Amino acid sequence: MNAPLNVAVLIGSTRDGRFGPVVANWIRAHLERRDDMAADLIDLVETPLPTVFPVLGQPPESAEALELLSAVSPRMARADAFVIVTPEYNRSFPAALKNAIDWHGREWHAKPVGFVGYGGFSAGLRAVEQLRLVMAELHAVTMRDAVGLQAPWAQIGMDGTADNPGGDAAAKAMLDQLAWWGHTLREARTTRPYGA
């Protein structure tokens, strides 16, 4: 029951020249400094997912699609909690992230989700607020406190070193909530399987 939570950290951007991995490594470093969590970084560039969906309710027919899914879906299923790292694109989140979300159903159920948003003026928070609506449909529980990094390229070096005390405090608040919900929901799913 007290084993560290397996936290899947999902990188939402796949753009050439993206900053997403730098932000993801920054939050992963926060996670790894804790003894109550272990991180599993899911990068949709390294493990891309198919973009053509099968007939509703049926598995994909193509072997290639099944192989791509096999590199991601079991890790999502094993996760006790998620951290979604998302940039803001046109006041929302990237299409590649929505694709990864939509490929999964029960993998999200009764699990907590924390957010790290980043972008320009908005610090990615408009993308985060839209993701809360999506997560509600997937029976996931979103953390009240999110991290929002405005122009993170001015705060986090490419080597991951950062000088952003506000960001560190926001990361701690979000991860503390994720730990509480993660342990609580893992225990609850064990004793009372979620029936939706």
Ligand X SMILES: Cc1cc2nc3c(=O)[nH]c(=O)nc-3n(C[C@H](O)[C@H](O)[C@H](O)COP(=O)(O)O)c2cc1C
Residue ranges that bind ligand X, judged by CB under 6 A = 13, 15, 18-20, 87-91, 119-122
Residue pair 114/83 in contact by the 8 Å Cβ criterion: yes
Q: Which residue has 């070096």 as its token pair?
A: 157
Taking the complex as a whole, the smallest distance from the CB of residue 13 to ligand X amounts, in Å, to 3
Closest approach of Cβ 40 to ligand X, in Å?
19
Nearest CB to ligand X, comparing residues 89 and 160: 89
Residue closer to ligand X (CB basis): 119 or 182: 119
Q: Which is nearer to ligand X, 20 or 112 (CB)?
A: 20
C-alpha angle 134/139/145, rounded to 5°? 65
Closer residue to ligand X (CB): 80 or 88: 88
| CB nearer ligand X, residue 78 or residue 91 | 91
Rounded-to-integer distance, Cα 154 and Cα 169, Å? 17
- 95 versus 188: smaller Cβ distance to ligand X: 95
Amino acid at 49: L
Q: How far is the CB of 130 from ligand X (least distance, A)?
A: 11
Q: How far is the CB of 124 from ligand X (least distance, A)?
A: 6
| Residue 196 CB, nearest approach to ligand X (Å) | 32
Size of the chain in residues: 196
Check: CB of residue 40 under 8 Å from CB of residue 10.
no
* Separation between Cα atoms, residue 47 and residue 99, nearest integer Å: 13
3-class secondary structure, 106: helix
The dihedral through the CA atoms of 187, 131, 20, 169 has a sign that is negative
Helix residue spans in the chain (DSSP H) = 20-32, 63-70, 73-78, 95-102, 125-137, 165-191
Rounded to the nearest whole angstrom, what is the least distance from the CB of residue 111 to ligand X in the complex? 24
